[in-house]
Amino acid sequence: MTDRALVVVRAGALTTVQDRGRPGYAHLGVPRSGALDPPAAALVNRLVGNAPDAAVLETTLTGCALRPRSAVTVAVAGAPCPVTVGGRPAAWGAPVVVPAGEVLEVGTAERGVRAYVGVSGGIAVEPVLGSRATDLLSGLGPAPLADGAVLPLGSPSAPHARVDVAPQPCPPAELVLRVTLGPRDDWFTPGAVRDLTSRTFRVSSASNRIGLRTEGPALERARSGELPSEGMVLGAVQVPPDGRPVVFLADHPTTGGYPVIAVVRAADLPAAGQALPGTPVRFVAVRRR
């Protein structure tokens, strides 16, 4: 019987298993999780012939290295990075065959933060609440990759795509996030609301899968005191006591006690997952739909 598995040769700074996440459990305190750049994750699955909900690997900045125990087709997309197979240059953003025993090296990101590695058959770790995603906040799902770990693979269900390269957006040089103000914008002064939508912030190095933290002007409150803990949604812009906005990403908590001044449009969040520390951030107010 063919041994369909990947051996982790180099785990990188942070590599996790991700899929579409586990929506629908916020009432139980379980975050959605899932890939921070869903279009990139969907692309690598399409390139290797997987279903859209197959699990992939999400790397952070420094990539990873993997050795398949049997021949597999892989695709790497998301943050542009060098790719090699057995030490030889291979295509990024296209299907690549990796023979059994050869090492697939996903290098350091040249732009952006997170690369995605799709493997024919998908990463077949045990699902939890219907998802194979690693959730760093709750601890659900498989642990982040470690050197020497072995990842089981599913069986391929379709042939890989017949393309030389798949076009995809470049990680942002400037992050523009469309926001709908509220529900707690009345907790801030009019000047703070103007600052949010007219001043430039920058991505903080403290950002992670839970939230994109910003550096820049502190937003002044109009109301003091405590806000009772309430439900949080993906893309909520929460303002902690230091006044610097935090955009909640896939592993965000389901409740929080700091006021939410605005909510980012879902279509703009994949770019937030690829924004390097220091990237300029602008929040642009749009009307409620």
- For the stretch 263-284, pLDDT in tens is 999 999 999 999 999 999 999 9
205 with 278, same domain: the answer is: yes
What is the pLDDT, as a whole number, of residue 289? Answer: 63
In a domain, 169, yes or no: no
141 with 15, same domain: the answer is: yes
131-134-138 Cα angle (round to 5): 100
| Cα gap 174→282, rounded to integer Å | 8
The per-residue pLDDT for range 247-266, each reduced to its tens digit, is: 999 999 999 999 999 999 99
146 with 200, same domain: the answer is: no
Q: What is the mean pLDDT of residues 283-288?
A: 91
More confident residue, 1 or 233: 233
What is the pLDDT, as a whole number, of residue 1? Answer: 43
Q: Is 222 in a helix, a strand, or coil?
A: coil
pLDDT tier, 168 (very low <50, low <70, confident <90, very high otherwise): confident
| Cα gap 4→10, rounded to integer Å | 19
139 with 258, same domain: the answer is: no
60 with 188, same domain: the answer is: no
The total of other beta-carbon atoms located within 10 Å of residue 240's CB is 14
242 with 130, same domain: the answer is: no
181 with 143, same domain: the answer is: no
36 with 139, same domain: the answer is: yes
193 with 137, same domain: the answer is: no
| Cα gap 66→101, rounded to integer Å | 9
What is the pLDDT, as a whole number, of residue 146? Answer: 98
pLDDT tier, 165 (very low <50, low <70, confident <90, very high otherwise): confident
How are beta strands 175-181 and 280-285 bridged, if at all? parallel
| Cα gap 273→288, rounded to integer Å | 24
Do the Cβ atoms of 253 and 210 come closer than 8 Å?
yes
| Cα gap 10→105, rounded to integer Å | 9
Look over the chain and give the mean of its residue pLDDT values, rounded to a whole number.
Answer: 96
pLDDT tier, 2 (very low <50, low <70, confident <90, very high otherwise): low
**Would the pLDDT of 5 be above 90?**
yes
Q: Name the DSSP letter for residue 120.
A: T
126 with 22, same domain: the answer is: yes
The per-residue pLDDT for range 33-80, each reduced to its tens digit, is: 999 999 999 999 999 999 999 999 999 999 999 999 999 999 999 999
263 DSSP β-pair partners? 180, 236
151-28-179 Cα angle (round to 5): 90
| Cα gap 15→115, rounded to integer Å | 9
In a domain, 219, yes or no: yes
Q: Give me the helices (H) in 12-164, please.
A: 38-48
Number of structural domains, the chain?
2
Alpha-carbon torsion 33, 34, 37, 38, what sign? Answer: negative
Could you tell me the CATH number of the domain that includes residue 236?
2.40.100.10
| Cα gap 251→26, rounded to integer Å | 11
Of 92, 120, 152, the residue that ends a domain is 152
Q: Which residue segment(s) compose the domain that 20 sits in? A: 5-152
**Would the pLDDT of 192 be above 60?**
yes
Write down the residue that tokens 């019987």 correspond to. 1
pLDDT tier, 237 (very low <50, low <70, confident <90, very high otherwise): very high
